[in-house]
Structure 1
């Protein structure tokens, strides 16, 4: 729920892409002596990680993932329904996921943002060690709230960022350089985190942007997020109106991920779709579910607890797809006193219970 300004775009062009620079927040061109002194070591870290990722990709075809126990899967899915009486949950017409699936056996808890900006979320606001310290506290809170469900931590990184300037092609989006994405993957590995690459297409299309991230999505621990808010099919600039995706766009992404999983012997992918209005997702009943892709419709709205619960009820609960997510904003949720951040215990009372939690 934030787009990149032209000033921030310029800062990206001017900033160092090495991990040493990313260890400090880049809001404008911000440099520190310590980062410069450690640049060679950090560059080597990124290089080593790239080599490790290459080895992972090469060897993945030799790996096998545990098949899913269908009885345990349905028990966990029914547990997530949390006593729902509408008849909508659990979603009965869904396939047993492909081997290696994370959901619903683990709850995914992530920090969201972009490493170049402190304003896009907690992921870019703090140096990596501090970021992980904060995220691990949230993980422990979720483990306490739901001891029966292990937590898989991760980062949700905006890889294609909506911006306020059209750029050379007039598409109002900025694609993050590969080395910057590599650095995000390096940070995730600090605590065995999974990675979500998020796409804000602006005046481009998901069909143009998604294939450019294929080499990353071939990695077994990298998953996908898309943001309808910044899919500007009407031609408006991002941030001036709320965008939209149709089931056809979502199904395109599902087919793309499904093929990657099949062709590369990967575990099931998680696919997160952000939503906080009716119009952000159209024809939801036409969304297709496949064993290779686990779909999360994610409540992305901010505000007071009752408003957030209402948004979740209307656009997530009453339009079921497969799994649900819930977003918490450290700043926006507190904009109006006496607002407060909702707790894991409160979210565990929702029906259905969200299995993907994002902090911004």
Structure 2
């Protein structure tokens, strides 16, 4: 397994990405390169960072890609703006390492790019009407192609293509220039595609082209691309948790069985049992990647003040590390659960920074065990103000971005509205995190459904949802089939305690 440090080094070239909008960019929109001669295309790498090619018109998008990648080209292939593109035009452009342009509604767009490239010869695919191309040699595209010396390929450039029809010619031009082209299947966030993550990590590009209107207006496309280039992936693939993944967790303490099923057996048996809990859901949800999960109580509510006076016993993060890393190596996601007593959630979360820097480790806040200055456990149900929660959101999101980590799960346990005051002000703006409200009441199914429905009312957006099945306390506990059928809308996390 590649080390975390190596992954960070792999992302270093993109760590300072600046988003450069270049829809129909000007003639000097690409980087500078001295043309090697009229008989060879002169490639011109885009500016370092992310260059956006988000023209809705296919002909304009083809020109934008050409401008981003080519300083000159003695030969150009021109095809009709058709979907799909003619195969012979695609093959010719890639074989000759020259741009593929389209004969669109405005002939001036094509003519201007031919002038900029200094094109001497235009190869026309069947049905292409380029309009007035001046004194250039215009020939129908045939089997015999001209002899064009190949330029050195732009192997340090990756083109992310949304796969939309308007990006087709632009993607061909990128391949012709030697760039790695990755189809993100319509996903605007490169972290969502395991293929995009692999391609970016493998190429370690200095520049990225984002081809397609799907990328237009995407907030943080620069840092999201840099994160994808780290190569780190979540259990099950990709760097975004939902909706691709469905987590099935065992809850408890590594210290023993008193706090849940996680501590009822040793580590290896716990990993195997987590897989057993998850397995039925894989059959019930074939379109989701079901991931077995540990939710480990790492700070445990205490009946006494303890040496630090906070009514919470904190486990040593380094003592937990072998347990957490073994789970990660086995393909599990791990959630660290905080029961902070009289201290605040951020203070406790920061104690576990070294574990939260692992790509498969998330965090859970349990307000039931958050005490006021004069409160003690089991005399009242605890609560937390949203400002304290938002402080954790900011810190954890910043940590995730700074370390180029996959999206990190932040769970908020709640079974009463009063447990998180001013919940409507929850900061849901940080795409580094997936925020999830975990409805963990126990008892009869009508009561559990009532709590589930009540907590959905007025919830902030976007948030995800978790459901808890209590093995001994629920009357009765739902089977996996019943959980999928009755917990609606379908949660993203199901936990067993």
- Common fold by TM > 0.5: yes
1:284 and 1:133 map into 2 onto residues whose CA distance is 37
Please say which of residues 317-326 and 235-244 is displaced more in the overlay.
Answer: 317-326
- Corresponding residue of 1:62: 10
Pick aligned residue for 1:224 from 347, 363, 367: 363
**Corresponding residue of 1:359:** 496
Aligned to 2:128: none
The reply on whether 1:347 has 2:483 as its aligned counterpart is yes
Per the alignment, residue 239 of structure 1 pairs with 378
Residue deviations 1:50-106 (CA, integer Å, cap 9, x gap) = xx89x3255335259x989149999xxxxxxxxxxxxxxxxxxx9899551111111
Equivalent residues of 1:143, 1:151 under 8 A apart: yes
- Structure 1 equivalent of residue 241 of structure 2: 102
**Partner SS, residue 278 of structure 2:** helix
Change (3 A) 1:190 1:219: closer
Change (3 A) 1:304 1:228: same
**Does structure 1 conserve the Cα–Cα contact (< 8 Å) formed by 2:310 and 2:343?**
yes
* 2:267–2:323 contact (8 Å) kept in structure 1: no
| Deviations 1:126-164, CA, capped at 9 Å, x for gaps | 122332332212211111221111111121111111111
Matched, 1:328 2:276: no
Rate the CA distance shift 1:319–1:177 in 2: closer, same or farther, 3 A.
same
Larger fraction in helix: 1
Superposed, which structure 2 residues align to 1:271-350 within 5 Å? 271-289=410-428, 290-316=430-456, 318-321=458-461, 322-333=463-474, 339-349=475-485, 350=487
- Offset at residue 186 of structure 1 (A): 3.5
Q: Report the TM-score when normalising by structure 1.
A: 0.72
Deviates more, 1:196-205 or 1:121-130: 121-130
Q: Tell whether the 8 Å contact from 1:347 to 1:354 is kept in structure 2 after alignment.
A: no
Instruction: State the partner residue of 1:26.
Output: none
Shift of the 151–61 alpha-carbon distance from structure 1 to 2, 3 Å rule, reads farther
Q: CA RMSD in A?
A: 2.8
Matches within 5 A, 1:102-181: 102-181=241-320
**Separation in 1 of the partners of 2:189 and 2:249?**
28
Q: Which runs of 5+ in 2 are unaligned?
A: 15-181, 193-217, 229-238
Give the strand-richer structure, 1 or 2.
Answer: 2
Greater Rg over alpha carbons, structure: 2
Query: Aligned-pair distance for 1:177?
Result: 1.5
Cα pair 1:164 1:238 within 8 Å, conserved: yes
CA distance in 1, matches of 2:292, 2:299: 22
Work out the CA distance in 1 between the residues paired with 2:258 and 2:495. 16
CA displacement 1:225-256 (0-9 Å, x = unmatched): 11000011252112221111222112111101
Higher relative contact order by CA 8 Å / sep ≥ 6: 1 or 2?
1
1:15-26 equivalences under 5 Å are none
Q: 1:126 to 1:190 in 2, by over 3 A?
A: farther
2:435 match: secondary structure: strand
